[in-house]
Structure 1
Amino acid sequence: MILRSRLIVQGAKQKKRRLGIRLCRQYQLTWTQKKRGSLESKGTMLLRDYLNEFELDWAQAPVRSELIPKAALKGAKILLIGEQAELQKAIAWSFFAWNDSDRSGVRVQSASLENGVLKTEIAGAEHEMFRPEEADYVILTGFCCREANLDAAEAISYLKHFRQLLETVSALQCRRVLLLSDGRVYGKLGPGFAASEYEAGKTDPCGPGYEAQYFLQAVESMLAAFAREKGFAFQILRTGMMYGACIPVMEHMAAQLARKTAFGEPFQLTLSQEKTSYISIHDVLTAIQFVLTKCPENKIFNVSGLASNASAGELAILLYQNFPEQCRVTMHSEAAEKSDTERPSENKQMAIPSEGSGIWLNTQLLEHYGFVPQVSLEDGLIILVKSLQDTGEVFLFDNTYLGKLEKVQKILLGYLLEIDRICKKHDIKYFLAGGTLLGAIRHHGFIPWDDDADVMMLREDYDKFQQVVQQELPRNIFMQIPETEKGNYNPFTKLRINNTMFATEFTGHFMEMHNGIFFDVLSHDRTGRHKWSQKLHLMATMLTRSVVFNKWGNTDIKGGGAHPVICKIVDHVKYLIPMRLALWAQNHALTFFKNKDTGYLYDGMGRNLKRGAFPANWLSEAVYVDFEGYQFPVPKEYDKYLTYLYGDYMQMIPVSQRRTSHSIVLMDLGEYSDYRI
């Protein structure tokens, strides 16, 4: 037992799943509902008003990636053409995300060819219509990751229609025409061979399984021929086998295994050395915008996901490692399969078909131009399986932190109870702070993926806390401040557990420093009464903190922001300033208004310094709320305070980013690996 608190959590409360707080499920509109027709928007359209959390995650992926030059899409008119309505809808949402974040004025319409004329309709939300000839970009969804099980007559009919479509598109005078295709165009590839854009795989006109190859080749060739003849710019984007939450995809290996795992259905696989390239819908949508805005015209590009080349066996292992109870897989070798064909087939599970398998893409060309995929195959499969299960719980990656996140949170809760005991004993007012406060209000406990805890105090309470805490803490907890440890220059108090390791990417460079599991205690200090004094105080605090931090880490002060010249000058002279003087200046800046009743506070010690001042009366009174089954104090004006910190604080971070908030590079819980309160 590392802390003195002896309170015991009631069994029912202990079993409460904090991941299941349904009030956070803000997005309930299903894909099926959206397919019934165009959505209407009154005023400003926000994607979260239309999409569930999984759809919102991939729709915003291009904006989050920071790979797309937003100026290139300012006011852009996008025309989507093809039979894949669901994929078109996803592409439309990804372009509309720019209007959410930057009011870029992007407009998207879908079109179909009827009697030689393009008939358009709005794709997604209502906006002012544009004529097809006004389109800046035309995107043809083609047969990308769609079953190409057409007979000869259907294939010929489609190609005739596609030819008519290209005749019409060639007259539009748009900037570019982008065709979506996929790796099946390469046919069969040899073991360990990754196909580049202009390489050819094996083919057999008389053999089975090559229908998709010939069909996709015909579509691509027809586009290239028309582009040369008519003189318009084109691009072809060949994807790996696409998958994603809440979007229908072809029945390739990964999609089928994920579905069977989600519902606990047994399946068997034949082991093979053939690797297949897969790609999450997140990266498909980002690649589409990247190719249109940053890549040269009249070229072909391959794209696959992050660490997303896998054989059937590797897929099964990934799923089994993350869903051991649901993934009911049986694997055997090709030799065993041949032997089994000679035996009775009673009670045998159907082997999964493998359309698109064995296509490994070389994506060096697109990466050369700067494209970086964001979603790994493992993360993408976890998202897909959990979206299919649809349990109603808040999504979280269960494989975070080497399986130790829940244990870390229990230790932090023990910290919090000890802080509460000390503060009550000495009449010290404190509040839950930062993400801990947000978790208390939104989840009634820790944010499911959070790995730290914070409390905040006013300066007078903070000083009092520092005076008494060392006498009150158990011996195995160390109060880490510059005065108690040489080489530590944090502006706030950290409490660390002895004989543990919890080093961040930054503190991991200072192994002589105490790097145990930590809990942060911060002061909110007074700032100026007037805007001009607040700005000067903010700048002084920012500069002194930057000097201390960058001298400590031997790094450069970034020269951006509102005062790049000042930052550049300070960066050059910081090494001439003794650390003792820098620390004095930092502390003097933080406490400059200490004895003045200005009516305003600021987060001078924490991460929210740039948010500026806020009214002091927001922290004048505390109320108690539930946090992991206990009652802890939060500001009575928590709504105003959290809005100041996070804006719409009830909106959670994207699904694919719900891993821990700190980059912990070294972790060892020591004797507390089975800690219980």
Structure 2
Amino acid sequence: MGLKQKFAKKLINNSGSLKYYKNQVDVLTKKVERLEKANDSNNRLFNTIFLDYELTPSPLLQSFRDLSLELLRFMDNVCMKYDLEWMIEGGTFLGAIRHDGFIPWDDDMDSGMMREDYNKLVDVLPEELERNGLNDNIKINFRQRNAFVEGATSFLQLFYYNTLSGGGVDLTALDVFPYDYMKQYNGEDIGQKYEDARLKFYHDIVEIGDYDTTVERYHENMDLTWDKTNHMLNGVEGPQGPKRILKLKVFETDKMQPFKRVQFGKYEFPGPNDKDYYLKTYYGNYWNIPKVLTFHQRMGRLRKYPGIVEIFENEIIKFEEINDNFE
């Protein structure tokens, strides 16, 4: 009998230790089963509450939503003026379809557009902000990606700050993500190629310092094109990827475009053409509330500021007037 066999026999014969560890495994297994049942029960409860009841938001939450709608409305006004195609996407579009507006726990907004229109928007936004007296309110930001390369910037973010009480508080925000057309796509896994191209993109944006050249190199690395094709995918600057919170998706262009307007709160905004296709691709069974939720914590920060509801109300009045008279 070899040494391994002797050790195994001795371990098995040590019935006290074996029974102890077996009992511990049984105890932990039962705890896991109870936790899973509790989680399933809570999930069913949240589905009932959020999908079958009409919940009334607090004054602060309602004010946040009203100002956020005006930011979307401003985006829509600018895009219509310059003939740019855009869409609400991600959780914002999911909220429009499943909740007729904001997802109850969501406190930011997502939008997307093809890269050519995205670049045009970046060019015209400063002029439109100045023309409409919003320079002190809306700040143009390109999210930092220091985790990759120091100084690398990413997708467009629009933050709305208050000015009537000294400023310094971002009241709401809109993320704008670029999309690209693929020359050819046969259903293959492009995850690693995408991640490699992402690292190269962020390296080039710092080393070269020229956005247009960096994008052209990225298009070459990923075999992308400016011309409309049968497939489109999220731009490399976004949060999607094979190892990220949001999975990388390749979409059929004719299921996404032309963008179709949908009701979101009291306004309509463009979204993916085939809502069922888009939401199933991203979320699977999108009618159910997920068991794990993601929070951005903006509402938690806003609650700390004295007079925050009044601040919102003043900014809403100002922004509504700008949108009502937009030219």
Aligned with 2:196 (options 530, 533, 543): 543
Task: Return the offset for 1:464.
Answer: 1.8
Show the counterpart of 1:471.
127
Structure 1 residues 644 and 662 mapped into 2: Cα distance closer, same or farther (>3 Å)? same
Q: Which residue of 1 aligns with 2:158?
A: 495
Residue 444 of structure 1, aligned match among 66, 88, 100? 100
**For 1:597 and 1:235, how far apart are their aligned partners in 2?**
60
Could you report, residue by residue, the CA deviation over 1:575-596 in whole angstroms, capped at 9, with x for unpaired residues? Answer: xx89334986863455442334
Q: Give the equivalent residue in structure 2 for 1:456.
A: 112
Asked if residue 579 in structure 1 is aligned to residue 206 in structure 2, the reply is yes
2:287 is equivalent to residue 650 of structure 1? yes
**2:8 corresponds to which residue?**
none
Distance 1:626 1:394 in 2: 17
Higher helix share: 2
Name the larger-Rg structure: 1
Work out the CA distance in 2 between the residues paired with 1:665 and 1:583.
37
Q: 1:667 aligns with which of 301, 305, 311?
A: 301
Match of 1:614 among 221, 229, 251: 251
Q: Which residue does the alignment assign to 1:627?
A: 264
Contact 1:601 1:615 in 2 (8 A): yes
Gaps of 5+ in 1: 1-226, 239-284, 292-304, 306-373, 503-515, 550-573
Identity of matched residues, %: 25
Partner of 2:7: none
1:667 aligned partner, one-letter code: R
> Aligned with 1:524: secondary structure?
strand
For 2:225, what is the secondary structure of its paired residue?
A: coil
Aligned ranges for residues 124-523 of structure 1 at < 5 Å?
A: 234=23, 288-289=31-32, 392-393=52-53, 404-473=60-129, 474-475=134-135, 476-481=137-142, 489-498=152-161, 499-501=167-169, 517-523=172-178
Cα deviation, residue 495, structure 1: 0.8
The CA deviation at 1:468 is: 1.3
The 1:637–1:530 alpha-carbon spacing in structure 2 relative to 1, beyond 3 Å, is same
AA at the equivalent of 2:206: M
Q: CA deviation at 1:646?
A: 1.2
Whichever residue aligns with residue 173 of structure 2, its letter is F
> Given that residues 453 and 520 in structure 1 are in contact (C-alpha distance below 8 angstroms), is that contact kept between their aligned partners in structure 2?
yes
Query: Any idea what SS the aligned residue of 1:519 has?
Result: strand
Indicate the residue corresponding to 1:163 in structure 2.
none
Query: Is contact 2:182–2:233 with CA below 8 Å preserved after alignment?
Result: yes
- How many residue pairs match? The answer is 264
SS at match of 1:639: helix
Structure 1 residues 449 and 390: alpha-carbon distance in aligned structure 2, compared to 1, 3 A threshold: closer
CA distance in 2, matches of 1:518, 1:390: 24
Return the offset for 1:450: 0.8
What is the alpha-carbon distance in structure 2 between the residues aligned to residue 390 and residue 479 of structure 1? Answer: 34
Shift of 1:435: 0.7
Inter-partner Cα distance in structure 1 for 2:141 and 2:232: 25
Query: Contact 2:234–2:240 (CA<8 Å) still a contact in 1?
Result: yes
Using the TM superposition, give the Cα deviation of residue 453 of structure 1 relative to its aligned residue in structure 2, in angstroms: 0.6
> Aligned partners of 2:226 and 2:51: how far apart in 1?
53
Q: 1:449 to 1:290 in 2, by over 3 A?
A: same
Contact 1:603/1:609 (CA < 8 Å) preserved in 2?
A: no
Partner-residue secondary structure (3-state), 1:492: strand
Structure 1 stretch displaced more, 580-589 or 408-417: 580-589
Whether the 8 Å contact between 2:151 and 2:206 is mirrored in structure 1 is no
TM superposition score normalised by structure 1: 0.33
Over 3 Å counting, the alpha-carbon distance change for 1:421 and 1:501 in structure 2 is: same
* Alignment CA distance shift 1:388-1:627 (3 Å): closer
Identify the residue that residue 365 of structure 1 maps to in structure 2: none
Shift of 1:525: 0.8
C-alpha contact 1:423 1:429 (8 A) present in aligned 2:
yes
SS of structure 2 residue aligned to 1:445: coil
CA distance in 1, matches of 2:140, 2:66: 20
Amino acid at match of 2:270: P
Amino acid aligned to 1:289? V
Distance change >3 Å, CA 601–CA 288, structure 1 → 2:
same
| Residue pairs, 1:90-101, within 5 angstroms | none
What displacement does 1:601 show? Answer: 0.8
Take 2:229 and 2:168, find their aligned partners in 1: how far apart are those partners? 42
Match of 1:637, as an amino acid? D
| 1:122-153 per-position Cα deviation (integer Å, ceiling 9, x unaligned) | xxxxxxxxxxxxxxxxxxxxxxxxxxxxxxxx
Q: Which runs of 5+ in 2 are unaligned?
A: 1-14, 145-149, 162-166, 243-247, 321-327
Using the size of structure 2 for normalisation, the TM-score is: 0.64
Secondary structure at 2:301's aligned position in 1? strand
Deviation, 1:527, is 2.2
Q: Is the 8 A contact 1:544 1:582 kept in 2?
A: no
Whether contact under 8 Å (1:501, 1:667) holds in the other structure is no
Letter in 1 for 2:53: E
Contact conserved, 1:601 with 1:614, CA < 8 A, in 2? yes
C-alpha separation in 1, matches of 2:23 and 2:125: 68
